[in-house]
Amino acid sequence: MSRQQLSALLVAVAILLIVLAAVTLVPYASPRINDLGYRSLCPFAPYSSATLLLAAGLAGLVRSYLNQKR
């Protein structure tokens, strides 16, 4: 896999993770209330969102590192 393909893949992964982080905050009729005080699609809403955003940031850092080595 070339660096350009890997860079594009990392961008796609980062975008997917950001979208998933937003989806975890969507209000939903679930049996548990999350720590933000409302019922959302994911009952671990603030922590799962932060974890997904952290993983997206990590993908961005790896991509910038790969682009720096050109």
pLDDT less than 70: residues of the chain: 70
Q: Which two tokens stand for residue 13?
A: 């992964």
pLDDT the model gives residue 3: 86
The pLDDT assigned to 61 comes to: 96
Q: What is the pTM of this model?
A: 0.88
**Are 38 and 27 within 8 A, CB to CB?**
yes
pLDDT digits (tens, 9 = 90+) for 21-36: 999 999 998 889 998 8
At 55 the pLDDT is: 98
pLDDT of 70: 63
Q: Are 17 and 52 in contact (CB under 8 A)?
A: yes
